[in-house]
Amino acid sequence: MVLCPVLSGQKRALLATVLIPNFTSLFHNAKTAFAVQDIKSNQFWTVVYCLLSDVFPGLRALKRCDANKTAMDKIFISVIGPRMPC
């Protein structure tokens, strides 16, 4: 499965951070070791991508509701869809 480019960029940045000698020479407890394992795992990034792609539409709806503008018509159309006149 190919990840979206945004997650690929974030994955590269986190991998570069965990692989530099300054980071590897630091003390790591169990939680840090598990986090490093997750960052190196492709399965972790697949799960993150699926989670974000499922949650993002709801976050967009909440953002519209929280805005200081009227947005209920936009939310109604995005949830129900446009109705055709009879």
Over residues 17-46, the pLDDT tens digits come to 888 888 888 888 888 888 888 888 888 888
CB distance 61 to 78 below 8 Å: yes
Task: Give the per-residue pLDDT at 47.
Answer: 86
CB distance 42 to 17 below 8 Å: no
Q: HSE of 11 in the Cβ direction (CA atoms, 13 Å)?
A: 20
Of the two residues 43 and 71, the one the predictor is more confident about is: 43
Supply the DSSP symbol for 20. S
Task: Give the per-residue pLDDT at 82.
Answer: 62
CB distance 29 to 70 below 8 Å: no
**Cα(1)–Cα(5) distance, integer angstroms:** 12
- pTM, 2 dp: 0.58
Task: Give the per-residue pLDDT at 81.
Answer: 64
| pLDDT over 90, % of the chain | 0
